[in-house]
Amino acid sequence: MKGEDIKLEDLYRLELKTWWTYFKGESFAFKMICLYLFTEYVRPQSIWPWLDFLPWAQLFVIGALLGLLADPQKKWVKSP
């Protein structure tokens, strides 16, 4: 099953393989935002002190912005 073949009904089944296939097809910026949300809400660097050597949240936000600027498929939408 490829990412473009996945329908919304397939995602409703909550199968990890389907979700992972869909996630792999997303853009780099989307993955960085997901990692940012994970680090802000789960805070693994607080659970395991050995991870607390970089500002992870800030790096993921910067990565998302760079990914957005470098994405050749992005479309700017004007809205009044």
Whole-model pTM: value is 0.70
Amino acid at 38: F
What's the CA dihedral at 42, 45, 50, 53 to 10 degrees?
150
Give domain limits for the chain.
Answer: 3-70
Helices (H), 1-80: 8-12, 16-24, 28-41, 44-47, 56-70
CA distances in angstroms from 34 to 42, 78, 80, listed in the order given: 12, 25, 28
Per-residue pLDDT of the chain (80 residues; tens, 9 = 90+): 555 677 777 777 777 787 788 778 888 888 899 989 999 998 888 888 888 888 888 999 999 999 888 888 777 788 77
pLDDT at 77: 81
